[in-house]
């Protein structure tokens, strides 16, 4: 999955740092596209003296290499670089640089969405001692937004419930959705499967989780079984496809980035956790 970058390691601890030679700077345009160079699937960030600008914000490090965020107004022109959306990078990039791009986008989106205080409307500023923004007037403190969501592998005998979204990502997927106020993750599983496909489920068990920066999500994967005949009543506003698919007929996504694809693959190979 995208976060599996070992032996490399993400260090997301807050620190007051300034760029050094070889450190990377993430430049985003107003539409959230990242300024990068692509070579054979590897993503290159502006780095060193060529990337220098005033007002950069430290984001995180991968191994000893620090990543910074350029101010929104900062512009840069480098040969071979162009702006790419994170969805384009998902299809073209790989490795630790792609994970860095997703995570940088997650933080860029949060900084952009919280330039002003939600309580009093005054500008926010960087907090001095933690990863937070603080209102310059009332002192209200805001932390990075993380949306809990579920990915659900629903099983009926030798079949898995495969879906495709009405809009957006075009490949095979599983039932997915955001946790609502007052819900447990298991209740989200039950509700989302029912809302999207009309199927009741039982024997819900947790599989694993995944950060997914381009939606500001923490994805939690669950497997469960259909409770009853498994008749599908698809929500056509959410999905364009929902079918029970035999394990040997499951078509996987074109890369191994997502928790969804890993769950489909494990079921396909007969290695689904009990």
- Give 154's strand partners: 224
Q: How far apart are CA 141 and CA 134, in angstroms?
A: 4
Q: What pLDDT is recorded for position 91?
A: 86
For the chain, domains (ranges, CATH) are: 10-113 (3.90.79), 114-144 (no CATH), 147-268 (3.90.79.10)
DSSP helix/strand/coil, 184: coil
Q: What pLDDT is recorded for position 169?
A: 79
Regions in the chain scoring below 70 on pLDDT = 274
Q: What pLDDT is recorded for position 274?
A: 65
| φ and ψ of 42, to 5 deg | -95, 135
Order of all β-strands in the sheet with 82-84: 42-44, 34-39, 82-84
Q: What pLDDT is recorded for position 271?
A: 85
Cβ–Cβ < 8 Å for 108, 28: yes
| φ and ψ of 96, to 5 deg | -65, -30
* Contacting residues for 72 by C-beta, under 8 A, at least 6 apart: 28, 30, 112
Q: What pLDDT is recorded for position 75?
A: 87
Q: What pLDDT is recorded for position 178?
A: 96
Matching residue, tokens 């790419």: 84
Q: What pLDDT is recorded for position 53?
A: 85
Alpha-carbon torsion (33, 35, 37, 41), positive or negative: negative
DSSP helix/strand/coil, 247: helix
Q: How far apart are CA 39 and CA 30, in angstroms?
A: 24
């Amino acid at each position: 999955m995208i976060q599996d970058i070992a032996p490399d390691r993400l260090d997301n601890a807050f620190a007051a740092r300034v760029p050094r030679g070889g450190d990377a700077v993430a430049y985003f345009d107003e539409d959230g596209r990242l300024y990068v160079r692509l070579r054979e699937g590897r993503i290159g960030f502006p780095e060193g003296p060529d990337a220098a600008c005033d007002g950069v914000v430290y984001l995180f490090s991968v191994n000893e290499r620090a990543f910074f965020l350029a101010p929104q107004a900062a512009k840069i022109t480098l040969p071979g670089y162009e702006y790419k959306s994170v969805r384009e990078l998902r299809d073209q990039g790989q490795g630790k640089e792609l994970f860095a791009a997703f995570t940088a986008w997650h933080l860029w989106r949060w900084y952009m969405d919280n330039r002003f205080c939600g309580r009093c409307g005054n500008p926010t500023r960087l907090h001095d001692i933690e990863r937070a923004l603080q209102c310059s007037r009332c002192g209200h403190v805001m932390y990075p937004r993380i949306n809990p969501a579920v990915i659900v592998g629903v099983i009926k005998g030798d079949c898995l419930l495969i879906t495709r979204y009405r809009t957006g990502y075009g490949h095979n997927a599983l039932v997915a959705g955001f946790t609502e106020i007052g819900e447990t993750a298991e209740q989200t599983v039950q509700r989302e499967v029912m809302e999207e496909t009309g199927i009741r489920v039982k024997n819900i068990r947790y599989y694993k989780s995944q950060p997914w920066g381009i939606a500001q999500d923490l994805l939690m994967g669950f497997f469960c079984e259909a409770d009853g005949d498994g008749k599908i009543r698809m929500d056509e506003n959410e999905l364009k496809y929902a079918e029970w698919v035999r394990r040997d007929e499951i078509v996987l996504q074109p890369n191994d980035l997502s928790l969804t694809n890993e769950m489909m693959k494990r079921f396909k190979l007969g290695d689904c956790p009990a």
